[in-house]
């Protein structure tokens, strides 16, 4: 089997590449300019030399068509595009183009080539907006509250349209928050873990956060990579919510990270209104019941285990650097 991972340099792309390689796949991965990209996440997982990289601009139809024609993959995993909710408020056009147009170009190229390819498209629990204390299912209406969520919602409906209109095997995984040591420090979870580790090691730095009352459904990214693969092994394409079903506040995440070192997070943290988003989601949580019954997928890690795993990796990398 041959897989093409669009956006292989990111957190999800790297873990998915490792997962597929372990199952004997021939793995290709794309980046906008593969010749100058370092692919640091692939290197961290020890698989950089096992992934054949390709340059592809997902918002350029000719570029997408050329790569699909050259690789002719059995499975396509669309993980490309701007991945930060906060940054999408500052770069709304790039966010919409990279996510929605990138998805459309892949779908149209698949239709044009007429090959038996299967597509996984990365959706987001952000599309649901505030779930009001409830768990969102595949039937919960979308109420996006950021340019990122609007772009993901657009991509979701493009996948559904091409699946119904042209019979493409195309599925969207509606993934809620999922974290790992491969997250960059612009993501608040990695920012918290890095600060807790540094302060425990003697740093006098302060951790600055925005709204700590938001609640999110945090899972473990490597587990979510398996869910992506499982979707494409089904005889019929469909959309699936992937989540833990448990929501925790950002304050609880910070408390868990600092408690690992017997520290009180309040004593080392400041709040800045400048880090509040123009529109945010108070409560976000998913119900992966359909994934459990159809795919046989269930999460094993909850938020405290995610924090523990990230801290262990952070301390290991700090030790190696020293």
How far, in Å, CA of 305 to CA of 257, rounded? 10
Residue 278: which pLDDT band, with cuts at 50, 70 and 90?
A: confident
How far, in Å, CA of 30 to CA of 113, rounded? 19
Residue 273: which pLDDT band, with cuts at 50, 70 and 90?
A: confident
Residue 318: which pLDDT band, with cuts at 50, 70 and 90?
A: low
Total of domains in the chain: 2
Asked if 24 and 151 sit in the same domain, the reply is yes
Q: Is the pLDDT of residue 173 over 70?
A: yes
Asked if 80 and 116 sit in the same domain, the reply is yes
Quick one: pLDDT at residue 321? 38
How far, in Å, CA of 8 to CA of 13, rounded? 4
Asked if 27 and 173 sit in the same domain, the reply is yes
Helix (H) or strand (E) holding 178: strand 178-179
Asked if 146 and 269 sit in the same domain, the reply is no
Asked if 230 and 274 sit in the same domain, the reply is no
* Interval 170-174 mean pLDDT: 98
Q: Is the pLDDT of residue 320 over 50?
A: no
Those residues with Cβ within 8 angstroms of residue 132's Cβ, 6 or more apart along the chain or in another chain? 283
Asked if 45 and 174 sit in the same domain, the reply is yes
292 is a domain residue: no
Q: Mean pLDDT check: name the lowest of 102-106, 185-189, 282-286.
A: 185-189
Asked if 117 and 172 sit in the same domain, the reply is yes
115 is a domain residue: yes
293 is a domain residue: no
CA proximity to 6, closest of 48, 59, 62, 46: 59
Quick one: pLDDT at residue 279? 79
79 is a domain residue: yes
Per the CB < 8 A criterion, the answer to whether 293 and 179 are in contact is no
125 is a domain residue: yes
* Interval 218-237 mean pLDDT: 97
* Interval 150-166 mean pLDDT: 97
Q: Is the pLDDT of residue 230 over 60?
A: yes
List the CATH number of the domain containing 223: 3.40.50.720
Asked if 229 and 262 sit in the same domain, the reply is no
40 is a domain residue: yes
Average pLDDT, the chain: 93
Asked if 224 and 198 sit in the same domain, the reply is no
268 is a domain residue: yes
List the CATH number of the domain containing 192: 3.90.25.10
CA 301 to chain centroid, in Å, comes to: 16
Q: Mean pLDDT check: name the lowest of 31-40, 229-238, 269-278, 279-288.
A: 31-40
* Interval 161-175 mean pLDDT: 98
Quick one: pLDDT at residue 319? 43
Asked if 137 and 30 sit in the same domain, the reply is yes
Domain that holds residue 25: 2-179+218-242
Q: Is the pLDDT of residue 33 over 90?
A: no
Q: Which residues of 259-278 are buried (b: 16+ CB within 10 A; e: fewer)?
A: ebeeeebeebbeeeeeeeee
Asked if 108 and 174 sit in the same domain, the reply is yes
- pLDDT tens per residue across span 183-206: 888 899 999 999 999 999 999 999
How far, in Å, CA of 208 to CA of 42, rounded? 30
pTM of the model: 0.93
* Interval 290-302 mean pLDDT: 97
Quick one: pLDDT at residue 38? 76
Asked if 199 and 277 sit in the same domain, the reply is yes
Catalytic residue annotation: 124, 126, 148
295 is a domain residue: no
Q: Is the pLDDT of residue 241 over 50?
A: yes
């Amino acid at each position: 089997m041959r897989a093409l991972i669009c956006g292989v340099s990111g957190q999800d792309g790297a873990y998915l590449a490792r997962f597929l390689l372990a199952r004997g796949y021939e793995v290709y991965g794309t980046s906008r300019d593969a010749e100058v990209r370092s692919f640091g996440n692939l290197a961290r997982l020890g698989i950089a030399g096992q992934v054949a990289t390709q340059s592809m601009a997902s918002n350029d139809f000719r570029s997408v068509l050329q790569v699909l024609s050259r690789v002719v993959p059995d499975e396509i995993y669309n993980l490309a595009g701007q991945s930060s909710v906060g940054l999408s408020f500052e770069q709304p056009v790039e966010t919409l183009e990279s996510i929605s147009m990138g998805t459309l170009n892949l779908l149209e190229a698949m239709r044009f080539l007429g090959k038996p390819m299967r597509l996984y498209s990365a959706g987001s629990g952000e599309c649901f907006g505030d779930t009001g204390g409830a768990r969102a299912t595949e039937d919960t209406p979308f109420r996006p509250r950021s340019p990122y969520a609007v772009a993901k919602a657009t991509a979701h409906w493009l996948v559904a349209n091409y699946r119904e209109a042209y019979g493409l095997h195309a599925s969207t995984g509606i993934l809620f928050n999922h974290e790992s040591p491969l997250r960059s420090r612009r993501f608040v979870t990695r920012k918290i873990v890095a600060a807790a580790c540094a302060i425990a090691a003697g740093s006098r730095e302060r951790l600055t956060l925005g709204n700590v009352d938001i609640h999110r459904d945090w899972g473990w990214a490597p587990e979510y990579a398996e869910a992506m693969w499982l979707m494409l092994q089904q005889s019929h394409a469909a959309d699936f919510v992937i989540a833990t079903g448990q929501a925790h506040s950002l304050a609880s995440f910070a408390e868990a990270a600092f408690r690992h070192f017997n520290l009180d997070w309040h004593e080392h943290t400041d709040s800045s209104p400048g880090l509040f988003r123009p529109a945010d989601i108070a409560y976000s949580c998913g119900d992966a019941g359909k994934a459990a019954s159809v795919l046989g997928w269930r999460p094993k890690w909850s938020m405290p285990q995610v924090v523990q795993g990230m801290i262990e990796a952070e301390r290991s990398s700090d030790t190696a650097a020293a």
